[in-house]
Amino acid sequence: MQVLRGVDAFEAPDRPVLLALGMFDGVHRGHQHLIRRLLERSSEVGGYAVVTTFDPHPLKVLSSPSQPFLLTTLEERLSLLERLGIDAVLIFPFTPDFREISAEAFIREILLTKLGVREVFVGPHHTFGKDRGGDVNLLRRMGEGLGFHVHVVDPLSLEGTVVSSSLIRDLLRQGEVDQAARFLGRYYSLRGTVVPGERRGGELGFPTANLLPPEDKLLPANGVYAGVASLSGERFLAVMNLGVRPTFGGQHLVVEAHLLDFQGEIYGQRIDLAFVKRIRNEQRFSDPRALAAQIAQDVALARESLYGLLERGDPLMG
């Protein structure tokens, strides 16, 4: 898969260019549904399948959200898109100059002149151009006049619920990671570097890896979770904690994971934490001994839940 940073990096292939237009944050099941339509059509016509995304996310530039909201970092998004089998990802840098491009100019100068698109795939509610002045109606109308075809792909629904990034964000903020996974098509994960902590977990008999999460990456609700940690090509069942550690009077958010049946120093290494099931809320205990007893119960429950999913052949567990 080619990664093209900006339209100037695009070189016209000797095949028809078919393009899926959007941000695709999360690369969730709805996005996958649209991209599969792109790939099916590309296979039929011998095309070159391109998917767009933006960096940074337009929301960060246009509205400056007060809390992290990204479902995927750019690195994660590219990795997920590559697995789908597309030919290229075109990253639009969302700069002040880019945001001033009118919808009509975007169609004429970028889609047609610079990319030479033959077919465009888009969701029904997609907007683009300065002040979001363009929509699918404009895209279709101009496409008819300029010689490219627009496929408007209806949203994917699962059991009557439309799959969307906003729905998944809401579920994660409520700690409902198992429900979010249904719509993502995988368990939600964080990828970051293991950093030194205060070694509280080790003192309690449950050493943890402290994760420095990426900036702007949405974190699930505070609490204790059963999950899977991926480290240096190996996977370990894990118990993860998101919170401020109130038993010790903490005030800063900590992301930490106790890897089951693992020993070793992993400071500075990259780790992925996948959130499978929420075990309980974060709570304050009377003393460290009471906390240690609760963590032992958390570990036992996590082990039972995760092994149960593995035995049942949960497809999201891999």
* CATH numbers and ranges of domains, the chain: 2-158 (3.40.50.620), 188-317 (2.40.30.30)
Interval 49-73 mean pLDDT: 89
Instruction: Measure the CA–CA gap between 29 and 44, rounded to whole angstroms.
Output: 22
Per-residue pLDDT at 143:
97
pLDDT bucket at 233, cuts 50 / 70 / 90: confident
How much of the chain, in percent, has pLDDT values that exceed 90? 67
pTM over 0.85, yes/no: yes
Buried b (16+ CB within 10 A) or exposed e, 41-79: bbeeeebbbbbbbbbebbbeeeeeeeeebbbbbbebbbe
Question: What does 43-57 look like in DSSP terms, one character per residue?
Answer: HHHT-EEEEEEEES-
pLDDT bucket at 213, cuts 50 / 70 / 90: confident
Interval 16-20 mean pLDDT: 98
Q: Tell me: pLDDT of 244 over 80.
A: no
Q: Tell me: pLDDT of 311 over 70.
A: yes
Q: Tell me: pLDDT of 130 over 60.
A: yes
pLDDT bucket at 315, cuts 50 / 70 / 90: confident
For the chain, the average pLDDT equals 90
